Chains A and B, each alone.
Chain A
Amino acid sequence: MKNNTRTQFKKLIPVFIVLILVGCSSNRFKAEKLFWQAEKKASKITKGKLQEDLTDKDINKMISAYRKVVSSYPLESLAAQSQFVIANLYISQKEYDKALAELKSVIQNFSSRPKIASAAQFGRAEIFEKRGMTDEAITEYQKVVDLYPLTPLGLSTPLYISQYYKRLGDTEGQRKARRQAVRNYKKLIFDYADTEVATMVQNYLAQAYLQQEDWDEAIKVWDEIIIKHPDTPQAIRSLITKAELRARELDDLEGAIKIYQDCIKKYPKAEFLKEIKLRLADLYLENSQIYKAKDTYSLLIKNYPNDEDLILRSRLGIINCFKKQGLKDEVVKGYWDIQKTHPETTAAISTPYLVYRYYKKIGDSQNEKIALSRAIAGYEKNFSVNKKDKENLTTARLLFLCYSEKKDWDKALSLLRDLADNNPKDPGFLLSMAVIYSRELNESGKAKKIYQEIINKYSDNKALVKLIKEQIVSLDESLLERNTGK
């Protein structure tokens, strides 16, 4: 009897295993599969079409593909994502009521997931805004603030409402909204005092003061964060924002420099210390404290020998110091040094062109000509039509700029033709050719020919074709104007 039971149990083991494995495929995974299929179908329908080219039939097909996800797995987050897509498709059909209903269903299905529900609520408000129904829009936006106060949208919407009033030109409404935003943030800070939420909301409060251009109050909020949470990343962030406010809005470079100096002293192990030091050097330069700027850049080069990017930026900073001092030879030497020390970088490749631009800027016409010839010779030597790497393309672009500066349009056009033939995915070279023909050489016929070539080659890119057709029309119009003027 016992043996019989054991044998029967053994026979059932594979059945159990199969049952367990069959039951494994989760709803999330199945929903992902359906969503992927919907995305694929949608991309097939929209391929090569502009939004306005889509027919109602196309849109309905897409809606029914996404609807499958919603009806099969209504509580999966991808169902919500599908409903957002459906709502947008309804909006494109101007079926606003259907879009509103779709978003309402998201709010109902995902009431326990505030991030999703708040996005749907915000979407409803946007629809009213789009339709010009201001009161309804404001009511819906306010719901985002009241119902989902701690979500990213709940926190940013008070600021958005004030911007909305600004766009409407309603100064009184904007003033009220700003006051309301400040009240809202202060209440949240009070409700969640001494928690991380309070610190997060304080940043929004500072933003609200910035919107009001109430710089002092914003600085007060940041100071509070720095005092309350002195050793946190938020404190460093607040210090930096405060410094930037002083530098950009209050023209107080001295104040900004002092904050950065304090920040470096207080947080010698801060994650972005080298960036802070670089910014301090830039501010010294801006404030005409050339020697301090040079010292700081030099120290950065010395202290961070492995950070190629930082060293390059510091070297460029030192060149800017020389520029401000009017040390022409030092500036040029600095550029050529970069070419030697950072040969693989864009800055190094750009050096001959930058030297030429510098001479041009300071009005040294003799050196300007020499530098341009030297740049062209160098770029012509390094450029190879067949190579397709990034450096070669950068060289080609710089060579084109040099030809343009020299107004050597024959060479510029020949270079662009080579580039267009070797980079068939990039219509930019042909576009530049057309621009040279139409604007520099006044050869509208040739420009139109090039535009036609773009249309033929990139017929799939509807947006580009539309733009080119507009260019051809404007070319025809200007030609007509010129002829009738004659």
Chain B
Amino acid sequence: MKLAINIWKRTVIALCKNRKLLVPFVISAGFSGLVLYILYLAPSRPVSLVLAPPIRAFFGEKFLHYPYSIYLLPKLFYYAQLLVNSTIGLIMTGLAIGFVKDAYNKEELKTPADLAVSFKRYFTLLGIWAIMFLSMFVISELVKRAFPAEANQLLIDCLVYIAGILAQLVFIYAMPIAILEKKGFLGSLKQGFLFFKKFFFTTIVLIIVPAAIYLPLLILNQYVPKLINKLWPEVVIIALGLGILATFIIDIFFTCAPAFLLLQNKDEK
């Protein structure tokens, strides 16, 4: 617990001293926001020229009209988010880990050099991301199926979210290792797993606490249909926007804290 608090402290101090450390996360969140806006505009020209045919083919003409286009946004945004996370998101994660290393060494943040490393290690990062996504997906599906259909939806959503986070934890150090120690795909996974085993409880505390920021959003999501009925369908966009904001904060801790722990452990050795 003490170690976890120490790492959080380090992360917050590094962020306060080097505001530039926030840039990769701002860019990722900014892209997500832009994608959400573009999806919102899907029924209107000129965006509809590109997005209307697949929406029509997969979901039906109805979803190109108000308010159904808004109701479809969470689903579309989920798929778009996968694309953003696996491209720009990964490059920015790599850059952020590079920045953490610079900050830890009390050096100036070297954007071009760190960005170059991130690009070079992209496919390794993509492999790790795919493994993390798949394990999260499989675990979430298993949890979903373990409950009967009439079970409390909020409880299921919370358990699915927590199970998904726990599934990702096993591989949480793989990306920092791929960037900081320039290990290959399997090497990063293996070393990351061993490191996770070594710092099992610290990692859980380190990640679960910031991840809890998302829980109020899960509660809000339960009330979205009621709010739509009482207010307007645009409530969906507000909920998704808050989701982007929460992800932005969680991502900072998910990326920086493990990298700091890794660097600190290396130094102590």
Binding site for B on A (CB under 8 A): 20-21, 24-26, 28-29, 32-33, 35-37
Contact of B46 among A24, A29, A32, A33 (CB under 8 A): A24
Which residue of A20, A24, A32, A37 has the most chain B CB atoms within 10 A of its CB atom? A24
Q: List 24 A-B contacts (CB under 8 A).
A: A20-B46, A21-B38, A21-B41, A24-B44, A24-B45, A24-B46, A24-B47, A25-B41, A25-B44, A26-B43, A26-B44, A26-B45, A28-B43, A28-B44, A29-B43, A29-B44, A29-B69, A32-B65, A33-B66, A33-B67, A36-B66, A36-B67, A36-B233, A37-B232
Question: How many pairs of residues, A versus B, come closer than 8 Å at their CB atoms?
Answer: 30
Q: With both chains docked as a complex, state the minimum distance between the C-beta of A30 and any C-beta of chain B, in angstroms.
A: 9
Tell me which residues across on chain B come within 8 A of A26, comparing CB atoms: 43-45, 48
Whole-angstrom CA separation of A25 from B67 in the bound complex: 14
Q: Considering the complex, which residues of chain B in the window 31-76 have a beta carbon less than 8 Å from any beta carbon of chain A? A: 37-38, 41, 43-48, 65-67, 69
Q: What is the 8 Å Cβ interface bit string for chain B, positions 66-98, against chain A (1 contact, 0 not)?
A: 110100000000000000000000000000000
What's the minimum C-beta distance from A27 to chain B, rounded to whole angstroms?
Answer: 9
| Cα(A79)–Cα(B41), bound, Å | 21
- Beyond known contacts A24-B41, A26-B48: 11 more, CB 8 A cutoff: A20-B46, A21-B41, A24-B46, A25-B44, A26-B43, A26-B44, A26-B45, A28-B43, A29-B66, A33-B67, A36-B67
CB distance from B231 to the nearest CB of A (A): 10
| A33–B41 alpha-carbon span in the complex (Å) | 13
CB neighbours of A35 from chain B (8 A): 66
B interface, over-half SS: loop
The 5 closest A-B pairs by CB, nearest first: A32-B66, A26-B44, A24-B41, A33-B66, A24-B44
Contacts of B66 in A (CB 8 A): 29, 32-33, 35-36
B241 smallest CB distance to A (angstroms): 16
Complex CA–CA separation, A35 to B48 (angstroms): 21
- A20: B residues at CB distance < 8 A: 46
CA distance A36 to B38 in the complex (A): 22
- Distance, CA A35 to CA B65, complexed state (A): 11
Q: How far is the CB of A8 from chain B (nearest CB, A)?
A: 22
Interface residues of B in 130-181 (CB under 8 A from A): none
Q: How far in angstroms is the closest Cβ of chain B from A69?
A: 12
Q: Which residue of A lies closest to B234 (CB)?
A: A33
Across the interface, B37 reaches (CB within 8 A) one of A21, A32, A33, A37, namely A21
Q: How far is the CB of B24 from chain A (nearest CB, A)?
A: 18
A35 to B66, CA, bound (A): 9
Contact with A along B197-234 (1 / 0, CB 8 A): 00000000000000000000000000000000000110
A330–B45 Cα distance when bound, in Å, is 66
Q: Which of B37, B41, B66, B232 counts the most chain A CB atoms within 10 A? A: B66
Residues of A within 8 A of B67 (CB): 33, 36
Chain B nearest CB: distance from A16 CB in Å? 14
Within 8 A of A (CB), among B1-54: 37-38, 41, 43-48
CB contacts (< 8 Å) of A25 on chain B: these are: 41, 44
How far, in angstroms, from A275 to B44 measured CA to CA in the complex?
Answer: 43
Chain A residue numbers with a CB within 8 Å of B45 are 24, 26
**Residues of chain B within 8 A of A37, CB atoms compared:** 232
Complex Cα distance A185/B118, Å? 74
Complex interface: chain A residues within 8 A of B44 (CB): 24-26, 28-29
Chain A proximity of B229: nearest CB distance (Å): 9
A25 to chain B: closest residue by CB:
B44
Residue ID in chain B nearest A34 by CB atoms: B66
Interchain nearest-CB distance for B60 vs A (Å): 16
CA distance A36 to B69 in the complex (A): 13
- Give the distance to chain A from B26, nearest Cβ to Cβ, in Å: 14
**Nearest B residue to A33, CB-CB:** B66
Q: How far is B28's CA from A49's CA once the two chains are assembled, in angstroms?
A: 51
> Could you tell me the distance in whole angstroms from the C-beta of B236 to the nearest C-beta in chain A?
14
Complex Cα distance A232/B244, Å?
A: 56
Chain A proximity of B128: nearest CB distance (Å): 32
Distance in Å: Cβ of B67 to nearest Cβ of chain A: 6
User: Shortest Cβ distance from B48 into chain A, in angstroms?
Assistant: 8
Q: How far is the CB of B76 from chain A (nearest CB, A)?
A: 16
Per the 8 Å Cβ criterion, residues 78-124 of B in contact with A are: none
Q: How far is the CA of A21 from the CA of B45 in the complex (A)?
A: 10
Enumerate chain A residues within 8 angstroms of B65, measured Cβ to Cβ: 32
Contacts of A33 in B (CB 8 A): 66-67
Q: Which residue of B lies closest to A27 (CB)?
A: B44
Closest to A26 in B: B44
**In the complex, A26 Cα to B69 Cα: how many Å?**
14
Q: What is the CA–CA distance of A24 and B47 in the complex, to the nearest angstrom?
A: 7
Least CB distance from A20 to B in Å reads: 8
* Shortest distance between the CB of B27 and any CB in chain A (Å): 13
- A29-B234 Cα distance, complex, nearest whole Å: 13
Query: Please, which residues of chain A bring their CB within 8 A of the CB of B232?
Result: 37
A25, A29, A33, A37: which has the most chain B beta carbons within 10 Å? A29
Provide the bound-state CA to CA distance between A154 and B48, in Å: 34
Give B150 Cβ to nearest chain A Cβ, in Å.
12
Rounded to whole angstroms, the CA-CA distance of A25 and B45 in the bound complex is 7
Query: A35 to B233, alpha carbons, bound, how many Å?
Result: 13
Residues on A with beta carbons closer than 8 Å to the beta carbon of B43? 26, 28-29
In angstroms, Cα B38 to Cα A20, docked, is 11
The residue in B41, B44, B232 that gathers the most chain A C-beta atoms within 10 A of its C-beta is B44
A37 and B67 CA atoms in complex are apart in Å by: 10
Instruction: Give the distance in Å from the alpha carbon of A32 to the alpha carbon of B47 in the complex.
Output: 17
Which A residue sits closest to B229, measured CB to CB? A40
Bound Cα distance from A33 to B233, whole angstroms: 10
A426 CB to nearest chain B CB (Å): 21
Which B residues are CB-close (under 8 A) to A28?
A: 43-44
Bound together, the chains give a CA A20 to CA B66 distance in angstroms of: 21
Q: Which residues of B contact A36 (CB under 8 A)?
A: 66-67, 233
Complex CA–CA separation, A29 to B69 (angstroms): 10
Minimum CB–CB distance from B227 to chain A (whole Å) comes to 14
Q: Which residue of A lies closest to B65 (CB)?
A: A32
Complex Cα–Cα for A353 and B47 (A): 59
| Residue of A whose beta carbon sits closest to that of B37 | A21
Q: Which residues of the partner chain A approach B41 to less than 8 Å between Cβ atoms?
A: 21, 24-25
